[in-house]
Chain A
Amino acid sequence: MSKIEIRSPLPGTFYRASAPDVPPFKADGDSVASGDAIGLIEVMKTFQEVPAGVDGKNITFLVDNEEPVMAGQVIAEVEA
């Protein structure tokens, strides 16, 4: 079993859900498809979706909701 890293394309603040009152894009343990959004990055008051970029299962988030991230930082891991 190999782990694949999902990295943030931009620096900013990471959000697990599209709004505070809706469920997160992905729950821990979910499977993801390459085109799925796994979160949002807020950068300078604008929001950009973070696509999974890979197909995988059992996603584990390494960054909490509303936490600052750097460009290239690993946000989550999935199993291939």
Chain B
Amino acid sequence: MTIRSILVANRGEIAVRIIRAAKALGIRTVQVHSAADADMLAVRLADAAVDIGSPAPRKSYLNIEAVVNAAKAAGVDAVHPGYGFLSENADFADAIEAAGMVFIGPKGEAIRLLGDKVAARAVAEKAGVPTVPGSDGRLATIEEARAVAERTGFPIMIKAAAGGGGRGIRVAADLADLERHFPQASAEALAAFGDGGLYLEKVITRARHVEVQILGDGENVVHCFERECSLQRRRQKVWEEAPSFLLPAEVRARLCESAVALARAVGYRGAGTVEYLYDETTREFYFIEVNTRIQVEHPVTEMVTGIDLVAEMIRIAGGAPLSVRQEDIRLDGHAIECRINAEDPERGFMPAPGTVSGLTVPEGEGIRFDTMLYEGYTIPPFYDSLIGKLIVHGETRATCLERLKEALQGLAIEGVATTVPLHLALAGDGNVARGAFDTRFLEQWLETEFAGKAGPTAEVA
């Protein structure tokens, strides 16, 4: 069916992004919002808006019944879940489809399969994708865990089968650690995810986080090359790039092909991301997980491939075949995204909700700013601190970095503290310029380099 109307089941910048893509396709948009979000930009841009409940996410954006009822009442053809919230909730996808609407994403069964980290690992292995050395599926007892750890060595990660996105992970440095953490981790996973299942993965000590963007229409699968997302704080990405510029061409080819093989094995439909750890010294990559939704950092891929991923998701959900063939997808230049959060990097990243009194957005060739901000908008305290993403494209990584510095200097968000000063410091850092970083770089750099630079009188840009 052709999709003529969409309900946006999300908030913030991604809701704005989805509405813009829908409008470009001539699709009517209905935006849900909590009581705290009646003034948000997506509500203003959408053709209609529906209040679905009180500010707490589980009473609004995580409330399946409220969202499904809003979609039914609005009479939309389809629902776009964005990222976070219900985007990887298979029951939600099923409920939307059961109500006769299209869920813009994979089928519930694919979300369920790939969302179970142990099952996803098995799918990857079957498709010939290398996985991190660890347990063969779920572990029932501490004795089994001990046997795996003795084979792989330490340090080792204890992961929740139902976790993901950096949640439900503990690291054991030795056997005593493992014996202490294992029962706690199981109890914690049961409380947090309703599933106490655990598995083990060896810690790859010096690794980059690379991930491959895939698109599938249920029959064919293509990749849109990879992203480099090693700059993380507390397992949350801070800065992302496309491509992973130090990756040897031969490794890139194997990596991207492995993601396609995995997606093909499950008849993947929609946009997805296959995440890996890459060990530069051995040139080995290891599968971590699949995200069955659009990612925060999708714009860097759009900037280097020219593909509108959100529009493609909508077209595929409407039953269209992929609009691109693999041989048509080429890398053009380099792109970097900086996540701008309402947090004060000079005060331990203290959250900084509040009213935006002034907003100046840089413009120019290769510069894109995805945001939900406008002058006078009050950022509510109830949700994620992401308020915008500055994305810059350049012919080479060096020109991209130069352009990024200028763009960051031209971005002024007044009235609230933001992470712009952090990004300015990163953009000017020698290690970042050389690409000499792994997933542990940023936290260390924050303690040594950034703590020294950040003066007590530093102005908020």
B351 neighbours in A (Cβ, 8 Å): 10, 43-46
A43 touches B353 (CB 8 A): yes
B385 touches A11 (CB 8 A): no
A43 touches B381 (CB 8 A): yes
Minimal beta-carbon separation of B260 from chain A (angstroms)? 34
Bound complex: CA A44 to CA B417 (Å): 13
Contact pick for A44, options B54, B55, B384, CB 8 Å: B384
Closest to A44 in B: B351
A13 neighbours in B (Cβ, 8 Å): 55-56, 381-382
A43 neighbours in B (Cβ, 8 Å): 351, 353, 381
The reply on B342 being an interface residue by CB < 8 A is yes
A66 touches B56 (CB 8 A): yes
The reply on A12 being an interface residue by CB < 8 A is yes
Minimal beta-carbon separation of B34 from chain A (angstroms)? 10
Minimal beta-carbon separation of A44 from chain B (angstroms)? 4
Q: With A11-B381, A12-B381, A13-B382 as known contacts, state yes or no: A44 contacts B342, CB within 8 Å.
A: yes
The reply on A68 being an interface residue by CB < 8 A is yes
A44 touches B353 (CB 8 A): yes
B380 neighbours in A (Cβ, 8 Å): 11
A66 neighbours in B (Cβ, 8 Å): 56
Bound complex: CA A44 to CA B382 (Å): 5
A68 neighbours in B (Cβ, 8 Å): 36, 54-56, 382
Closest to A19 in B: B191
Interface string of B183-224 (1 = CB under 8 A from A): 000000001000000000000000000000000000000000
Bound complex: CA A42 to CA B353 (Å): 12
The reply on B383 being an interface residue by CB < 8 A is yes
A44 touches B381 (CB 8 A): yes
Per DSSP, chain B at the interface is: loop
Closest to A70 in B: B381
A contact residues, range: 10 to 19
Contact pick for A12, options B191, B382, B384, CB 8 Å: B382
Contact pick for A11, options B56, B353, B384, CB 8 Å: B353
B353 neighbours in A (Cβ, 8 Å): 11-12, 43-44
Minimal beta-carbon separation of B191 from chain A (angstroms)? 8
A21 neighbours in B (Cβ, 8 Å): 191
B56 touches A44 (CB 8 A): no
Minimal beta-carbon separation of B38 from chain A (angstroms)? 14
Interface string of B372-397 (1 = CB under 8 A from A): 00000000111111000000000000
Interface string of A40-72 (1 = CB under 8 A from B): 001111100000000000000000001010000
Q: With A13-B56, A66-B56 as known contacts, state yes or no: A45 contacts B385, CB within 8 Å.
A: yes
B383 touches A44 (CB 8 A): yes
* Residues 8-31 of A contacting B (Cβ, < 8 Å): 10-13, 21
Bound complex: CA A21 to CA B342 (Å): 31
Minimal beta-carbon separation of A51 from chain B (angstroms)? 16
A44 neighbours in B (Cβ, 8 Å): 342-343, 351, 353, 381-385
Bound complex: CA A54 to CA B191 (Å): 35
A46 neighbours in B (Cβ, 8 Å): 351
Minimal beta-carbon separation of A73 from chain B (angstroms)? 12
Closest to B34 in A: A68
Bound complex: CA A12 to CA B379 (Å): 11
Closest to A21 in B: B191
B36 neighbours in A (Cβ, 8 Å): 68
A11 neighbours in B (Cβ, 8 Å): 353, 380-381
Bound complex: CA A10 to CA B353 (Å): 9
B343 neighbours in A (Cβ, 8 Å): 44
Bound complex: CA A42 to CA B385 (Å): 12
Bound complex: CA A66 to CA B58 (Å): 11
**Chain A CB within 10 A, most for which of B55, B380, B382, B384:** B382
Bound complex: CA A21 to CA B188 (Å): 12
A45 neighbours in B (Cβ, 8 Å): 351, 383-385
Bound complex: CA A45 to CA B167 (Å): 13
Minimal beta-carbon separation of A11 from chain B (angstroms)? 4
B385 neighbours in A (Cβ, 8 Å): 44-45
Minimal beta-carbon separation of B388 from chain A (angstroms)? 14
Interface string of B20-57 (1 = CB under 8 A from A): 00000000000000001000000000000000001110
Taking Cβ atoms with an 8 Å cutoff, the residues of B that contact A are: 36, 54-56, 191, 342-343, 351, 353, 380-385
> Known pairs A10-B351, A45-B383. 9 more at Cβ < 8 A?
A11-B353, A13-B56, A13-B381, A42-B382, A44-B342, A44-B353, A44-B382, A68-B36, A68-B56
In order of increasing CB-CB distance, the 4 nearest A-B pairs are: A44-B351, A11-B381, A44-B385, A12-B381
17 contacts between A and B (CB under 8 A): A10-B381, A11-B353, A13-B55, A13-B56, A13-B382, A21-B191, A42-B382, A43-B351, A43-B381, A44-B343, A44-B382, A44-B384, A44-B385, A45-B385, A46-B351, A66-B56, A68-B55
